[in-house]
Structure 1
Amino acid sequence: MTDNALSLFQLCDSNFPTGSFSHSFGLETYIQKDIVQDPETFSEWLKVYLHEQLAYADGLAARLVYEALDQDDLEKIWELDRILTVQNLARESRDGTQRMGDRMLNIAESIYEIPILSTYRQRLRNKQSFGHSAIVFTMVGHYLQVEKETTILYYLYSTLVALVQNAVRAIPLGQTAGQKVIYSFQKELKQATDKIMHLDEMDFGVVSPGLELSQMQHERVGIRIFSS
């Protein structure tokens, strides 16, 4: 791992304070319905989330943002920011991703002196953009000259680790069981990254209806410990 890749990997820490610990992105709905209740059923849910939502939304957005940065096409990035937000139909999840994006942007600006981050911040202040962690993460990876595929892989990993930690609290799973899930997903993460590298831009936003419905239904679950 290069020094720059190691620097980017700092953003993958489950303790990185973006507020991801407050969001289950529909997982809590499945827990309330007793569909997810142990490491096996959680792994099944996580596999679907990774391959059927994360890959086609955040993951593909990360690739497209990286390519737009290569071409210095900022308008493309602002368009992706808007599409990422408006295609997220569940209000709680939409608001959650904006808060996480804003928080990651704040922290990234305090660590790195990257002009594009300042431009993105100004657009958020002017309400010209919404903010998304996948975009911020990719801006940092591109600036550090971390390879596109590695940047995408790290972003997927950071999201997966956060969801595992939330499952440890909510199901609950033991910490050892959680670490075993993360280890077992190494191959899945590589497969998802490979798929993202070959997706067409027209695939952007093609996600599982079941996951979207669970994120909408979360507003009405009886007992909740997550915001989304």
Structure 2
Amino acid sequence: MNKQSADLSSLSNIEDISTNLLYLMHIHDSAFPIGSYTHSFGMETYIQSDEIRTKEDLFEFLKMYVLENLAYTDGIFVKEAYEQMKAEGWDALIRLESICDASKNAVETRDASRMMGKQFLQAILPVFPNEHLKKWKQFVDEKRIKGHFPIAYSLYTVEMEFDLFTALLTFMYSSTVGLVHNAVRAIPLGQKAGIQVIHQLIPEIHKATKLVMERSLEDVSNHAVGLELASMQHKYLQSRLFIS
């Protein structure tokens, strides 16, 4: 009888974990309307200058993107926001968001992060009317904050009680894989090539996530200078598929 009760309890815990995992998968679905398919974050500049032409080129670019960009910027902001939210420090969280805004020198990249964050809040609140997320949306509406996506995403993962590593790993994965899908359209590449690039990137994404877990706000830096310049140059391209 005790064994049966333990088995039922274990099954219930597994079901709870599985359900929460589905919610996390839901917000990372390509159909979830945050607008990531409209942004290249400077990648389109590399494509138009023929620096990204093959799946090998794309892999090298995205390896740089995750290890030298995300792991020094948005990844750290996700981690720091998660920890601030756990402590319920709204003032510190607002200050963190202002640092996130200031860290993005390229106007298009800064605007993209703001747009995605606002769209995320608009999409998630009707299905998950959480009080903390409502308050964050209120701060956006009152123009106290800009609404950057890494912060809004982190707040959601805290409220859903995901552990920090899972929240961070899935953020790094979706941010990188979204660019693979956009590159497949822009270069263009075949779907098979895109799948191969994603498969190659998974160890790099895991490595970058582990690095971010050891970093703090003091480690934030514009580490990928070439990407920053490409992001600034993007608005001057004669024809563009993407907003950033």
TM range (shorter): over 0.9
Within the alignment, does 1:174 sit opposite 2:190 as a pair? yes
- Separation in 1, partners of 2:233, 2:62: 18
1:1-228 pair list within 5 angstroms: 2-228=18-244
**The 10-residue stretch of structure 1 (218-227 or 166-175) with the greater mean CA deviation from structure 2:** 218-227
Offset of 1:207 from its aligned partner?
2.3
Kindly provide the CA deviation profile for residues 141-181 of structure 1, in whole angstroms up to 9, marking residues without a partner as x. Answer: 11111110000001111111211110010011111111111
* Structure 2: runs of 5+ lacking an equivalent: 1-16
The superposition leaves residues 30-64 of structure 1 with CA deviations (integer Å, 9 ceiling, x where unpaired) of 01111111100011110111111111111100110
Aligned residues: 228
Identity percentage of aligned residues: 36
* Deviation for aligned residue 1:223: 2.0
For residues 80 and 173 of structure 1, what CA distance do their matches in structure 2 show?
A: 38
4+ runs of 1 displaced by more than 2 Å?
Answer: none
Q: TM-score, normalised by structure 2?
A: 0.90
Q: Deviations over 1:68-124 (max 9, x none)?
A: 111111112111211111221111111111111100011111121211111111111
8 Å CA contact retained: 2:59, 2:200:
no
Structure 1 residue 16: deviation in Å? 1.4
| Contact 2:38–2:242 (Cα < 8 Å) also in 1 | yes
| One-letter code aligned to 2:194 | G
RMSD of aligned C-alpha atoms? 1.2
Structure 1: unaligned runs, 5 residues or longer: none
SS in 2 for 1:112: coil
